[in-house]
């Protein structure tokens, strides 16, 4: 979404992108020296991330943020900005995210988490080499939820002819997608951040309705119609408390959660068009 000729045009906007704590790029279990390395890395919340990002923006001399845009965990972060810094953000765009991680979402996260931590090579996080059994199990547990049943009905596991059978799809797309790319302790720390997401814990003591009603920034909330992590119903409930400060635009797609992550050109174009209109209001 970022580039000279894209919706977040670097010719028009000053664009700052951040890596989440524990994603392997920012400070993470995998790159932090002792005594906070690996399983000793502290739990990290979305609020921790937002406050650190704010400190960077202050260092850069940015006095006001025109818009915060994020997908998935970045979408959840987008809700935090107008809550933690209500006078600093003009508008926010959560794509395939929610203001609070739902019980349904938390139940899903326990699946890949258990598959990883129960593996024979995870060693309670004290592994010396990549815990392949655990990482592979994590990827398989994650697989079906990313796309959703509608996508599988229309595309099957062949992925447009890319894979000859289901086993190839699971091994190459999902096991291969995590092996060598993700550290096990990083994944677990991220899952904790995701699972504990709840903007109302910042200052409203868990009262989500009150928290959302106090948001003054303009919001464009874009769930995917077929998302199994963050279904549109979560955002529809949020809208009841947002006091007409936000509008909901559902991405009509079969691509599930991946619709917001650049998985196909049609959804990319739809999202870009809606954000462009929102920015021009």
Query: Which tokens is 187 given?
Result: 């994944």
| pLDDT at residue 162 in the model | 79
Find the catalytic residue in 186, 224, 234, 257.
257
Instruction: Return left, alpha or beta for 123; rule: phi > 0 is left, psi -120 to 50 is alpha, else beta.
Output: left
Domain ranges of the chain: 2-102+200-280, 105-191
Known active-site residue 234: no
| pLDDT at residue 150 in the model | 81
Find the catalytic residue in 22, 28, 30, 72.
72
Find the catalytic residue in 183, 186, 198, 227.
227
| pLDDT at residue 144 in the model | 80
Work out whether the CA dihedral 141, 226, 96, 13 comes out positive or negative: positive
| pLDDT at residue 158 in the model | 67
| pLDDT at residue 229 in the model | 94
Known active-site residue 159: no
Known active-site residue 186: no
- Mean pLDDT for back-to-back runs of 10 residues, the chain (281 residues): 93 95 97 97 98 98 97 98 97 98 96 97 97 97 84 73 85 94 97 98 94 96 96 96 94 94 94 97 91
pTM for this entry: 0.95
Architecture, CATH, for domain 105-191: Orthogonal Bundle (1.10)
H/E element, 118: none
Q: Are 97 and 70 in contact (CB under 8 A)?
A: yes
| pLDDT at residue 160 in the model | 67
User: What is the Cα–Cα distance from 115 to 79, expressed in whole angstroms?
Assistant: 30
In CATH terms, the superfamily for domain 2-102+200-280 is Alpha/Beta hydrolase fold, catalytic domain (3.40.50.1820)
| pLDDT at residue 72 in the model | 97
Measured at the CA of 70, the angle between CA 246 and CA 182, to 5 degrees, comes to: 150
Residue 82, helix vs strand vs coil: helix
DSSP string, 18-63: -PPTTSSSSS-TTTPPTTSSGGGSPP--HHHHHHHHHHHHHHTT--
| pLDDT at residue 7 in the model | 93
| pLDDT at residue 125 in the model | 98
């Amino acid at each position: 979404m970022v580039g000279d000729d894209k919706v977040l045009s670097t010719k028009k906007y000053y664009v700052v992108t951040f890596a989440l704590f524990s994603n392997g790029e920012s400070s993470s279990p995998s790159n932090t020296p002792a005594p906070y390395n690996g399983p000793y890395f502290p739990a990290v919340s979305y609020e921790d991330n937002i406050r650190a990002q704010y400190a960077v923006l202050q260092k850069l001399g940015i006095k006001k943020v025109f818009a915060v845009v994020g997908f998935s965990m970045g979408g959840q972060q987008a809700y935090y900005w107008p809550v933690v810094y209500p006078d600093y953000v003009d508008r926010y765009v959560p794509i395939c995210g929610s203001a609070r991680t739902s019980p349904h979402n938390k139940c899903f996260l326990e699946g890949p988490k258990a598959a990883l931590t129960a593996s024979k090579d995870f060693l309670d996080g004290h592994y010396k080499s990549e815990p392949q059994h655990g990482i592979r199990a994590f990827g398989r547990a994650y697989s079906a939820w990313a796309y959703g049943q509608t996508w599988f009905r229309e595309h099957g596991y062949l992925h447009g002819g890319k894979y000859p059978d289901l086993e190839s799809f699971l091994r190459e797309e999902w096991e291969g997608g995590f092996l060598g790319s993700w550290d096990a302790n990083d994944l677990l720390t991220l899952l904790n951040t995701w699972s504990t997401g709840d903007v109302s814990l910042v200052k409203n003591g868990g009262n989500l309705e009150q928290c959302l009603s106090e948001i003054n920034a303009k919001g464009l909330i874009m769930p995917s119609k077929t998302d199994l992590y963050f279904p549109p119903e979560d955002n529809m409930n949020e809208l009841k408390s947002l006091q007409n400060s936000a509008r909901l635009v559902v991405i009509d797609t079969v691509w599930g959660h991946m619709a917001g992550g650049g998985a196909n050109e049609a959804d990319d174009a739809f999202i870009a068009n809606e954000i462009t209109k929102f920015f021009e209001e």
